[in-house]
Amino acid sequence: SVVASTTAPVTLKIRTGWDKTNINAVLIAKIAEDAGISALSIHGRTRACRFIGEVEYDTITEVVKSVSIPVIANGDIDSPSKAKSVMEYTGASAVMIGRAALGNPWIFRQINEKLTHNTVSYFPSRVDLQNIIIKHLHELHDFYGESMGLKFARKHMSWYLSNFIDGKTFSKFFNSLTTIHQQASHIKEFLSNVEVSQKAA
Ligand SMILES: Cc1cc2nc3c(=O)[nH]c(=O)nc-3n(C[C@H](O)[C@H](O)[C@H](O)COP(=O)(O)O)c2cc1C
């Protein structure tokens, strides 16, 4: 009924099943396809697994073989190389990245490079980092306002700051700041002195 009520494409995200003895992703995928779902994301864990244990990609592979709609593989994809190998292994049309994008949003550009040229050449420069992080901070403040913006900024900035030596110490200090102006000026100052390293893909 959701599909019928809109002209927008409706996508669905599922896990592989209830638990390891009740894997039902292929069945659910077929029901979804019949119901007019446009694309299906699958996190390669069961509901009971929560975030514990290894993701398994075999069920995702089975789903890809069973339906014609695009399937998006998800779970524990934390690098461009892993994205490429999961796409090759499962035959999925795309990958979905969750935790590995936190404080690291340029991973999408790096994955595109890996899939297109089989190499990663983009690593954010100090100027890129300043631009991306400060823009994100301002957008959080603008969108959420001072009270909520301050809190959301603490969460997002701590993810970015975990990339840097001394980031953890600065993060503690950052969390003690109580105005958006303080947050903006101190993050600018920290980023203007930060050491930038290139992480291997
Ligand atoms: C902060 C956070 C928020 C999430 N919120 C949702 C959500 O609202 N709906 C959902 O289906 N999955 C949600 N997830 C799960 C992710 O979409 C994803 O399935 C899971 O994190 C596994 O992918 P990853 O290994 O790339 O993180 C969330 C995950 C995180 C870390």
Give the position, in ligand 1's atom list, of the atom nearest the Cα of 78: 26
Going from the C-alpha of 94 to that of each of 18, 40, 162, the distances in angstroms are 24, 10, 27
What are 43-66's pLDDT values in tens digits?
999 998 888 888 999 999 999 999
Question: Which residues have a Cβ under 8 Å from the Cβ of 143 and sit 6 or more positions away?
Answer: 149
Residue 90 CA, ligand 1 centroid: distance in Å: 20
What are 130-164's pLDDT values in tens digits?
999 999 999 999 999 999 999 999 999 999 999 99
Ligand 1 pocket by Cβ (under 6 Å): 13, 43, 74-77, 97-100
The token duo for 82 is 């892993």
Give the position, in ligand 1's atom list, of the atom nearest the Cα of 15: 19
Residue 98 CA, ligand 1 centroid: distance in Å: 5
Burial of 89 (0-12, 13-18, 19+ CB in 10 A): middle
Residue 117 CA, ligand 1 centroid: distance in Å: 28
What are 75-118's pLDDT values in tens digits?
999 999 999 999 999 999 999 999 999 999 999 999 999 999 99
CA–CA distance, 2 with 4 (Å, rounded to integer) = 5
